[in-house]
Amino acid sequence: MDAKKVAKLKKTILEKLGWLKVLVFLVILAYCGYLWYILIYNSQLGNDDKQAYISTKEKEVEFNQKGFALALEQVEQKKARYATPMENIIDIFKLRQ
């Protein structure tokens, strides 16, 4: 084989590799789409699995009444503290005279 044939063969292989990369990308994309459909949209849980999921979610979402009352109390204290006028505060941004 001479140099021209080798160069032409190399160019042909590189062109086909470009299409091969696109084909591999499309196959992977299609497979990911299939998995997404199966796992998200076509999920099939049995009644036992559904009840177990619901029971775990009910346990996780309990309202903490004491913590909420404490947070409200702290907010009210801050409101009261910021509503009072400030006295004897040195103005550090005042221009010298």
> Average pLDDT of each block of 10 consecutive residues along the chain (97 residues)?
79 79 92 90 78 77 83 94 81 72
Structure tokens at 94: 């005042």
Compute φ and ψ for 41, nearest 5 degrees.
Answer: -85, -25
pLDDT of residue 96: 67
CA distance 52 to 55: 5
The structure's pTM equals 0.38
pLDDT at site 70: 94
Residues 41, 44, 49, 50: what is their CA dihedral angle, to the nearest 10 degrees?
A: 60
pLDDT of residue 79: 92
Question: How high is the pLDDT of residue 60?
Answer: 63
